[in-house]
Amino acid sequence: MTRVSVTVDGVSYQDEVEPRLLLVHYLRERLGKVGTVVGCDTSNCGACTVLLDGRSVKSCSVLAVQVTDRTITTIEGLAAEDGTLHPVQQAFHDNHALQCGFCTPGMVLAACDLLSENADPSEDEIREGIEGNLCRCTGYQNIVRAVQAAASEGRASSASTGATTGVTS
Amino acid sequence: MIPASFEYERPANLDAAVRVLQDGGEDAKVLAGGQSLLPVLRLRLSYPELLVDLGGLAELRGIREDGDAIVIGSMTTHDEVLKSELVRQHAPLLAQATATVGDRQVRHLGTFGGSLSHADPAGDLPTIALTLDAQLHATGPGGPRVIPASEFFLDYLTTALRPGEILTAIRIPKLGAGWSTHYEKFDRVAQAWSIVGVAAAVRRSNGSIAEARVGLTNMGTTPLRASLVEDELSGAAASAATVASASRSVTEGTHAPNDLAGHADYRNHLAQVLTRRAVLAAAGI
């Protein structure tokens, strides 16, 4: 067993884990963060995407022990404490950017990562930016629309408050 | 799928990493970014007993200028390579190819050195290292040594790294004035593995091609240089007809694989087309 010490959605955890434990299984089975889903289990689909120190990674392709002393944000850590949705979540809701919803947690976090680096992406840049995430329902049009809406909302609010849509920590 | 059990070490410095890796013997495996290794472990295609995680070795990260070359630490991520002004300026071919590796998530964790050490013939970066005449620095029980890229890739997933050796840095000579480059990749869209890829570096001089280098991805069990094409292009007129003619020789000495993404015949044709496109683009014709 190896000790892992990690901050997930603002809470610090210390656990003894088997080195072979994948981050996605640690999140779901140890911490109960079942908002992070297992899709393909072969690192193609991106459904298990989380943010590691603000950057998107596929949690099925990371060992829990690799993220010791790092910070993880899952889909469950995006909304404000009072339940107010993160602007990207709100944009997905407003634009009906889901069909079955299984890819949504990963799509939202991939979009957060993209927007944290590029606040004003073109449609092509959005499509390329979420290339690591598959929507098996093929509902990409509304997903792209939602990312565009979140980007323009983010630019509007950063102009007024200095905040950004992306998550950086 | 869950990987088979293994022991895990996260050494704090390079000396310790070499020691731990050596002690682990044949059943030890280096973990860099894990973006190739973890899928392999999950599918249980490999059963190492010990993983030596280099994630704690800050000394293996970063990109610096060193005279007529840039030096990239082996644990530098693809994302860091992409964002490097030094790479963009002195090795734009590497930046162009790195942008096609995996997806954003993979590029945040995957490393340049990991990709070279994995030596997948469908991987793009081994071809780039070979085309740019990179020097690979490794450290092991016998001390440090330098391996030219042309001697590093031995076979499918097999490199010249000896047991206990760790790739530490990649030295890429700056391309001088007059050189320009292009990477032409044909891939399965959602996967980003090259069916075939062609890297071209061309030095133009007075309307002719003074020198050319052509590297091939996934046309054999290792990345290859198309030396016959290079010879035909060197000193030739910089014209579309010359390039098209030279590109026909590209399959000489290659052994294109047959797999679900394409038959060898198809790859041979593709290699000719992509070589022509890559050289034309690099030469600005």
- Looking at residue B213, which CATH number applies to its domain? 3.30.390.50
A114 touches chain B (CB under 8 A): yes
The DSSP code sequence of B208-277 is: EEEEEEEEEESSSSS-EE-HHHHHHHTT-B--HHHHHHHHGGGGTT--PPPBTTB-HHHHHHHHHHHHHH
Tell me which CATH homologous superfamily contains domain A2-77: Beta-grasp domain (3.10.20.30)
Which of B7, B83, B105, B185 to mutate to probe the A interface, most A CBs <10 Å?
Answer: B105
Which of A3, A5, A20 to mutate to probe the B interface, most B CBs <10 Å?
Answer: A20
The whole-number pLDDT of residue A169 equals 42
Q: Which domain holds residue B217?
A: 179-283
Do residue B83 and residue B169 come from a single domain? yes
Do residue B159 and residue B213 come from a single domain? no
In a domain, B195, yes or no: yes
Do residue B275 and residue B206 come from a single domain? yes
Q: Crossing angle, helix A104-117 and helix A87-94, to 10 degrees?
A: 120
Task: Among B18, B34, B56, identify where a domain stops.
Answer: B56
The whole-number pLDDT of residue B51 equals 98
The DSSP code sequence of A66-112 is: GGTT-EEE-GGGTS-TT-PPPHHHHHHHHTT--SS-TTHHHHHHHHH
Domain ranges for chain A, please list them. 2-77, 87-161
**End-to-end Cα distance, chain A:** 28
Do residue B91 and residue B152 come from a single domain? yes
Q: Which fold has domain A87-161?
A: DNA polymerase; domain 1 (1.10.150)
Question: How far apart are the C-alpha atoms of B170 and B233, rounded to whole Å?
Answer: 28
Do residue B213 and residue B268 come from a single domain? yes
In a domain, B260, yes or no: yes
Task: Among B173, B192, B215, identify where a domain stops.
Answer: B173
Hey, what are A1's tokens?
Answer: 């067993």
The whole-number pLDDT of residue B176 equals 86
Measured between beta carbons, which residues in chain B are less than 8 angstroms from residue A127?
Answer: none
- Strand-pair category, B208-217 with B194-205: antiparallel
In a domain, B20, yes or no: yes
Do residue B117 and residue B189 come from a single domain? no
Do residue B100 and residue B52 come from a single domain? no
Question: How far apart are the C-alpha atoms of B67 and B73, rounded to whole Å?
Answer: 16
pLDDT digits (tens, 9 = 90+) for A3-36: 999 999 999 999 999 999 999 999 999 999 999 9
Question: Do the Cβ atoms of B229 and B247 come closer than 8 Å?
Answer: yes
Measured between beta carbons, which residues in chain A are less than 8 angstroms from residue B43?
Answer: 42
In a domain, B1, yes or no: no
A105 touches chain B (CB under 8 A): no
Is B106 in contact with A43 (Cβ distance < 8 A)?
yes
Do residue B166 and residue B259 come from a single domain? no
- Looking at residue B125, which CATH number applies to its domain? 3.30.465.10
Distance to chain A for B66, nearest Cα, Å: 29
Measured between beta carbons, which residues in chain A are less than 8 angstroms from residue B31?
Answer: 63, 66
Is A114 in contact with B51 (Cβ distance < 8 A)?
no
Distance to chain B for A105, nearest Cα, Å: 14
Nearest CA in chain B to A107: B105
Q: Whose structure tokens read 């970063």?
A: B62
Do residue B164 and residue B65 come from a single domain? yes
CA B36 to chain centre: 14
Question: How far apart are the C-alpha atoms of B7 and B27, rounded to whole Å?
Answer: 10
In a domain, B2, yes or no: no
- Strand-pair category, B135-140 with B166-173: antiparallel
Do residue B37 and residue B63 come from a single domain? no
Measured between beta carbons, which residues in chain A are less than 8 angstroms from residue B42?
Answer: 22, 41-42, 60
Number of domains in chain B: 3
Q: What is the pLDDT along chain B (285 residues), one digit of tens a residue?
A: 799 999 999 999 999 999 999 999 999 999 999 999 999 999 999 999 999 999 999 999 999 999 999 999 999 999 999 999 999 999 999 999 999 999 999 999 999 999 999 999 999 999 999 999 999 999 999 999 999 999 999 999 999 999 999 999 999 999 988 999 999 999 987 667 899 999 999 999 988 999 999 999 999 999 999 999 999 999 999 999 999 999 999 999 999 999 988 999 999 999 999 999 999 999 999
Q: Whose structure tokens read 């860099």?
A: B32
ipTM: 0.93
